[in-house]
Amino acid sequence: MFKGAHHSSRDSAGRNTEASKKKTLACEFGIVLFAFALVISLALATVYSWPRANTLIYFLTLRPALLWFGPILPLFLIAGCLIRRRWAFLGLTLWIVGVGVCEEVAPLLRLRDAERDRAFDAARATKNPAGSLPADEDRPVGLRVITWNIATSPSTIHGALEQLALLDPDVVFLQECSWGDLLPKALEQVPHFASYSRLQRLDNAVLTRFPVVAVSAPDLPERHGHVCSLQVSPGRTLVCVNVHFPLPGVVTELWPTGGLERLSGNVSRTQAWIRTLGETARKHLEGGPVIVAGDINLPGNYIGLKNGLRGFDDAFLRGGRGWGKTLPSQSPVSRIDLIYVPAETTTMNCRALDTVFSDHRPVVADLLLRW
């Protein structure tokens, strides 16, 4: 009897030892997995904030950070459960911090501020029916600015303009609106825009309630942008730079024959355009506020864009709220339609709106401009 009990005790001890080994192995594997997820998170955080936008950074940051961080979350959670369950909460926290560094989460946390809305409405109320402001006003001027790639087509143009009219904008930056004379004819059917000026250059157009006093072109390919000056009031000129950079197909092709070389050339060309855009905008700043807006086809957190447009702020990051992504319009994952304003401008509100009239969402910014 004692001999049987001895064998049973030894078998139990053996099973406990084997279970303990498995638990130790699982814990060690969990530690390795957790460290791997942490290293990848740190690497991504570094890439998204690296001061020099090289080819690799261009390729990575052209995609939403959530695309890269998505597979990391299960790694953190699995590793945490293998080590100790409370480590899963640590992993989740580190993941949220990593996404916060690389993605634009601050606007998601902002709530609507009724006081700011009232302040903007009060600033806008200074404009007279003709759209101009008294010359003796010293206070900031409230303007509502919209940028929208409307992807003009006969079936959607009227609905798009009606949606714009409901927003009562002061300046509208339009892209992909060159379908013959479709835009001017459609504007005639929307009474709200009867008194607006229209400046159209190939695919791009600016609609404004202010008189257009000058037009020029930056040193960019003809379809990629144009500059116009608006007479907001006597002595107050607003410069608008309407931009539409192309989205080269090579950005999604890294490894085909010649893909990396082509991608590197594309990066150099895009960065040259950004430098030219920044130089053009800063040159006009000497005479008053400048707004740069359009379908830039680069995400707002792309470091090359931030460096090229130094002296300007991304209106959505400064005062936006909500998701903010603009493409594709039904389930947007990329924010490539952007509005940049001088650093001294106050962004009271900025948001991307739902729409069924284009594959891009319109971006609306309520601004307080100073001269």
Are 304 and 156 contained in the same domain? yes
- Per-residue CA distances from 42 to 23, 34, 53, 96, 209 (Å): 28, 12, 17, 12, 48
Handedness of CA 56, 61, 64, 69 (dihedral sign): positive
Over residues 307-343, the pLDDT tens digits come to: 999 999 999 999 998 889 998 898 898 899 999 999 9
Q: How many C-beta atoms surround the C-beta of residue 65 within 10 A?
A: 23
The pLDDT, as a whole number, for residue 261 is 74
pLDDT of residue 220 exceeding 80, the answer is no
Q: How confident is the model at residue 250 (pLDDT cuts 50, 70, 90)?
A: very low
Over residues 3-48, the pLDDT tens digits come to: 555 555 555 655 567 767 778 888 888 899 999 999 999 999 998 8
- Would residue 107 count as lying in a domain? no
Are 98 and 140 contained in the same domain? no
Are 145 and 219 contained in the same domain? yes
**Residue 172 and residue 206 in contact, taking contact as beta carbons nearer than 8 Å:** yes
- Would residue 88 count as lying in a domain? yes
Over residues 135-179, the pLDDT tens digits come to: 555 778 899 999 999 987 888 899 999 999 999 999 999 999 877
For the chain, what is the domain count? 2
Q: What is the pTM of this model?
A: 0.86
Are 41 and 142 contained in the same domain? no
Are 318 and 179 contained in the same domain? yes
Average pLDDT over residues 179-204: 88
Average pLDDT over residues 342-370: 93
Rounded-to-integer distance, Cα 305 and Cα 308, Å: 5
Range of the domain at 84: 2-102
Name the residue with higher pLDDT: 85 or 363.
363
Are 88 and 120 contained in the same domain? no
Average pLDDT over residues 58-85: 86
* 3-class DSSP state of 268: helix
- Per-residue CA distances from 57 to 63, 77, 84, 124, 266 (Å): 10, 27, 35, 41, 13
**Rounded CA Rg of the chain:** 27
State the chain's mean pLDDT as an integer.
84
CATH number, domain containing residue 143? 3.60.10.10
Are 8 and 131 contained in the same domain? no
Over residues 73-130, the pLDDT tens digits come to: 998 888 888 888 778 888 888 898 888 888 888 888 888 888 888 888 888 866 655 5
Are 91 and 116 contained in the same domain? no
The pLDDT, as a whole number, for residue 169 is 95
Are 57 and 143 contained in the same domain? no
